[in-house]
Amino acid sequence: MSAPVRVRFAPSPTGQPHIGNVRTALFNWLFARGRQGKFIVRIEDTDQTRLVPDAVEGILDGLRWLDIDWDEGPEVGGPYGPYFQSERLDLYQEAARGLMEGGHAYNCYCSPERLQEMRKQQMKEQKTPGYDRCCLNIPAQKLREYKDEGRVPVVRFKMPDPEEITVQDIIRGEVSWRSELLDDFVILKSDGFPTYHLANVLDDHDMEISHVLRAEEWLPSTPRHLMLYRALGLEPPLFGHLPMILGPDRSKLSKRHGATSILEYKEMGYLPKALTNFMALLGWSLDDRTEIMDRRTLVENFSLDRVVKSGAIFNREKLDWMNGVYFRNMSPEELTERILAYWEEFPASQILRPLDRGYLMRIAPLIQERLKTLRDASGLTSFFFQSELVYEPQELVQKGMDLKTTSAALEQALSTIDSSVTFDAETLEERLRALGSELDLSGRQFFGLLRVATTGSKVSPPLFQTMEVLGRDRCSHRISKAIEALAAS
C-alpha cells in the first residue's frame, strides 16, 4: 500500500514559461492523472527582486490553454494552502529558527561584497567556490558590533560532517555525492524570505508531495535537499529528474533560442492537443511506433520507466507535421470553429470582417489538408475575402500560350460560366474540361489560367470547388477583370 500520488508544478513567476517548463508540468500532470493522484500548482515567488508582473497569469493561461488542470493551487485553493510561497513566510522562518536551535543552521553576517571577493579568490586558486564558514563561530564581541551596526544576517544551513549522500532517482537510478563538497548554503535571506532550497523542501513535505518530478538541472541540489529533510526530521519524497529540453545548439533552452513562451505557440497557430502530444514524445515514448495519441491514451500509458535520460532538442518541423495531422483528423465543423476563434483572437488584415461562419464553413474543408498552423489559414484563404484581385499578366499567360490565346480562352470560359445552369464543382469540371479540349489546351494550361484568374495565384485549393464557393458572380467578375488586365498590358 503506497501513499497516494501527489505531484506538483512549482514555477517561479519570473517570466513566461517555455516549452521546457511546460513539458515538466505535463509529465507531472500525466503521472497524476494516470495514477488517480493530485496535480498541484505552487508559485515559488520567493525572489522579490525578480518578480515579473502578470507572470503568474501567463503561467496559468499557458496551462489552461493546454488543458492541464490542477487540483490545488492558485484560484482553486486547496487543503494545503496557501499555494504562494510569499504567503507562507512564517512557516519558513519558524523552520529556520528550529534548525538554528538544533545546531543545524547559523546566522551569517558576511556582506555580499565579502562573499563575492571570497568566490573570486577561490576561483583564482582553482578551488570550488563555497562559503568559508567565516560566521560559524562569531565571538560575542563581534556579534555585538554587528548588531549595533544594524546588520541583518542570513541563515545558513550547516552541512554535517563528511559523508556520502545518495538518492535513488526514479529515472537515473542511484546518484551519490560527497557532503564535504557542498557548502553551507543560505536558507533564509536577509529580507526574511527563504531561498528555494528551504521553501521547496518544507512545502513539498507540508503539501504531502509524493514524487518530485523536476528538470535535470535540479539534480545537483538534491543532496542539499536531502540534508535539509534529515535535519528537519522529515521523510523526503521520491525524486525523478527529467531530461531537459535543449535548444538547437544543445544548450539549455533560453530566451536567445527565440520564441519560447508557451503562449507564443498559441499565437503561432498550434493546436493544444497537437502540442501536448508532441511534448509528451520529448523524452517519453509509448513503444517503437505509436506517435499520434489522444489525451486518454497518453494518460493511460504514461509511465516514468519509459522516460529517457538524455536531453532532447525541440524540433519545430516535426511539430508542424503533427499539427497538420491534427487538422486533417478534425471534422470540418471543428476546423471552422478553430479558425474562427483564432482570427477572433489574432485578427489577420487580409480577412474581411465581420467573420461569416457559414462562408468559412464552406472554405475550411478546402484548406484542411494544406494547413500546418492556424496562422497559415489567412494566407491560404485571403482571395476568398478580397473584393478585387491584382493580376500579373505574365502569371495569367501559361506556358505555350500567348496574350491572344489566353484572352480568347478566358472569353470562352466566361461565356461557359455565365451560361451554365448550375454552378457547382461537378458541373463546372465537366463543362470546363470539355471547353479545354475544344480549345486544344492541356489541363495544366487551361486550369492554371483559370486558377490565376479566379484566385489571383498560381497556388490554390482545387479549382472547381474553389470556384463553387466563390460563386458565379465573383468568378465571372474576376475573369472579366483578368481579360481587362491582359488587354491593358
Partner RNA sequence: GCCCCCAUCGUCUAGUCUGGUUAGGACGCCAGCCUUUCAAGCUGGAGAUCAGGGGUUCGAAGCCCCUUGGGGGCACCA
* Phi, psi dihedrals of residue 286, rounded to the nearest 5°: -80, -45
CB nearer to RNA: pick between 36 and 49:
49
183 part of the interface to RNA, by CB under 7 A: yes
For position 129 contacting RNA by CB under 7 A, the verdict is yes
From the candidates 120, 142, 255, 404, give the one annotated as an active-site residue. 255
For RNA, give the closer residue by CB, 35 or 119: 119
DSSP assignment, residue 84? B
Among 124, 256, 289, 296, binds RNA (CB under 7 A): 289
15 touches RNA (CB under 7 A): no
Q: Is 14 in the site for RNA (CB under 7 A)?
A: yes
Nearer to RNA, 285 or 297 (CB): 285
Question: From CA 283, how far away is CA 245, in angstroms rounded?
Answer: 9
Among 252, 257, 477, 481, binds RNA (CB under 7 A): 252
Residue 251 touching RNA (CB under 7 A): yes
What CA–CA distances, in Å, run from 2 to 35, 149, 202, 230, 240?
11, 53, 21, 21, 17
Q: Please tell me whether residue 133 binds RNA under the rule CB under 7 A.
A: no
Q: Kindly tell me which of 145 and 484 has the beta carbon lying closer to RNA.
A: 145
User: CB within 8 A of 21, min separation 6: which ones?
Assistant: 11, 262
- Contacts to RNA from residues 43-72, by CB under 7 A: 44, 46-47, 49-50
Candidates 120, 127, 255, 353: give the one binding RNA (CB under 7 A): 127
Contact range with RNA by CB under 7 A, out of 26-34, 98-106, 225-233, 278-286:
278-286
332 binds RNA (CB under 7 A): no
Output the nine-digit C-alpha cell for 25: 508540468
Q: What is the per-residue binding string for RNA in 421-460, x denoting contact by CB under 7 A?
A: --------x-------------xx--xx--x------xxx
Three cell numbers, residue 28: 507531472
Binding status of residue 308 toward RNA by CB under 7 A: yes
Orientation of helix 357-367 relative to helix 376-385, angle to 10°: 120
Q: Of these, 97, 120, 147, 318, which contacts RNA (CB under 7 A)?
A: 318
Q: Please answer whether residues 129 and 122 qualify as being in contact, where contact means their C-beta atoms are separated by less than 8 angstroms.
A: yes
Kindly state the smallest distance separating residue 353's Cβ from RNA, in Å: 26
Q: H helices then E strands: how many in the chain? A: 20, 11
How far is the CA of 13 from the CAs of 48, 52, 234, 360, 414, in angstroms?
A: 10, 6, 28, 40, 62
Residue 39 sits in the site that holds RNA (CB under 7 A): no
Assess 310 for contact with RNA (CB under 7 A): yes
Q: Which is nearer to RNA, 194 or 353 (CB)?
A: 194
Neighbouring C-beta atoms of residue 263, cutoff 10 Å: 14
Does the annotation mark 255 as catalytic? yes
From CA 453, how far away is CA 467, in angstroms rounded? 11
Q: How far apart are CA 9 and CA 20, in angstroms?
A: 12
Compute the C-alpha angle 90/93/97, nearest 5°: 135
Q: Which of 283, 323, 339, 483 binds RNA (CB under 7 A)?
A: 283
Smaller CB separation from RNA, 127 or 353? 127
Shortest distance, CB of residue 176 to RNA, whole angstroms? 7
Residue type, 187: I
Establish if 257 lies at the interface with RNA (CB under 7 A). Answer: no
Q: Please pick, from the candidates 16, 195, 261, 373, the single residue that binds RNA as defined by CB under 7 A.
A: 195
Contacts to RNA from residues 155-174, by CB under 7 A: 172-173
DSSP 149: T
311 binds RNA (CB under 7 A): yes
Q: Are 108 and 69 spatial neighbours (Cβ–Cβ below 8 Å)?
A: no
Q: Which is nearer to RNA, 127 or 144 (CB)?
A: 127
Quickly list DSSP for 363-424.
HHHHHGGG-SSTTHHHHHHHHHH-SS----HHHHS-TT--HHHHHHHHHHHHHHHHH-S--S
Please tell me the distance from the alpha carbon of residue 108 to that of residue 128, in angstroms, as a whole number: 20
| Ranges within 341-370 binding RNA (CB under 7 A) | 369-370
Do 58 and 50 touch, CB atoms closer than 8 A? no
Q: Would you say 235 or 287 has its CB closer to RNA?
A: 287
* Residue in 238, 304, 325, 439 binding RNA, rule: CB under 7 A: 325
101 binds RNA (CB under 7 A): no
| Span 198-227, contacts to RNA by CB under 7 A | 200, 216-221
User: Does the footprint of RNA cover residue 178 (CB under 7 A)?
Assistant: yes
C-alpha cell at 12: 517561479
Q: Active-site positions?
A: 255
